[in-house]
Amino acid sequence: MEAKTDELFSLIKSLSRSEKRYFKVQTSRKQSEGRESNYLRLFDAIDRQTFYCEELIITQFSGEVFMKHLPSEKNYLYNLILRVLHKFHAGTSQEISACQILHETEILFNKGLYEQSGKQLAKAKKIIQQNELYYLMPKLSKLQIKISSQSSVNVDKMVKKMHEGMMDSSSSIQLLTNQAAYIELYTKFFVLIRQEGEQIRDNKNAAQIHEILSNDLLKDITMAKSEFAKEIFHFIHYTSLYVLGRFEESYAYYQQFVKERKNTKNTSLGFSDEMSHKANACEICLKAKKYDEVERLLQEINQIKPLNFLQEGKQFHRYYSLKLTLLNEQNRFVDSITLVNEIKQGLKYYQEVIHKSKILLLNYQISYAFFGAKQYKICVQWISKIIEDSNSDLRKDILSYARLLNLMAHCEMKDFQHLEYLVQSSRYFLSSRDKLFKTEAILLKFFKRLINIASLKEEQVLFLKLYTELQTLQHDEYEKGIFNAIGVLNWVKMKISPNDIKELPI
Cα 31 from Cα 28, distance rounded (Å): 5
- Residue, of 413 and 247, whose pLDDT is higher: 413
pLDDT digits (tens, 9 = 90+) for 398-455: 888 999 999 999 999 998 888 889 999 988 888 876 667 889 999 999 999 998 887 8
- The closest alpha carbon to 286, from 274, 276, 298, 275, belongs to 298
Is the pLDDT at 334 greater than 80? The verdict is yes
Closest CA to 120 of 133, 112, 111, 109: 109
| Residue 60 maps to a domain | yes
Overall number of domains in the chain = 2
Quick check: is 37 in a domain?
Answer: yes
- Of 239, 260, 281, which residue sits at a domain end? 260
Where is the domain boundary, 57, 88, 119? 88
Instruction: Quote the pTM value.
Output: 0.75
- The tens digit of pLDDT for each residue in 349-405 reads 888 788 888 999 999 999 999 999 999 999 999 999 998 865 666 677 888 899 999
Residue 54 lies in a domain: yes
- For 157, the 3-state DSSP assignment is helix
Which is nearest to 470 in space by CA: 443, 506, 499?
Answer: 443
The span from the CA of 90 to the CA of 84, in Å, is: 10
84, 170: one domain: no
List all residues 6 or more positions away from 306 whose beta carbon is below 8 Å from its beta carbon.
Answer: 275, 312, 314, 315
3-state secondary structure string across 63-105: CCHHHHHHHHHHHHHHHHHHHHHHHHCCCCCHHHHHHHHHHHH
C-beta of residue 35 within 8 angstroms of C-beta of residue 28: no
Question: CA-to-CA distance for 340 and 17, rounded, in angstroms?
Answer: 26
In a domain, 156, yes or no: no
Which residues form the domain of 207? 166-260
pLDDT tens, position by position, 178-202 = 999 999 999 999 888 877 666 676 7
DSSP one-letter code for 393: -
List pLDDT tens digits, range 56-107: 888 888 888 878 888 888 888 999 999 988 888 876 778 888 998 999 999 9
Question: What is the spatial distance between Cα 410 and Cα 447, in angstroms, rounded to a whole number?
Answer: 10
Comparing 195 with 226, the larger pLDDT belongs to 226
Last residue in a domain, options 35, 68, 88: 88
Q: What is the 3-state secondary structure (H, E, C) of 300-340?
A: HHHHCCCCCHHHHHHHHHHHHHHHHHHHHHCCCHHHHHCCH
Q: Report the C-alpha gap between 410 and 420 in whole angstroms.
A: 10
Q: Is 324 inside any structural domain?
A: no
Q: Is residue 10 part of a domain?
A: yes
188 vs 218: CA distance, rounded Å: 13
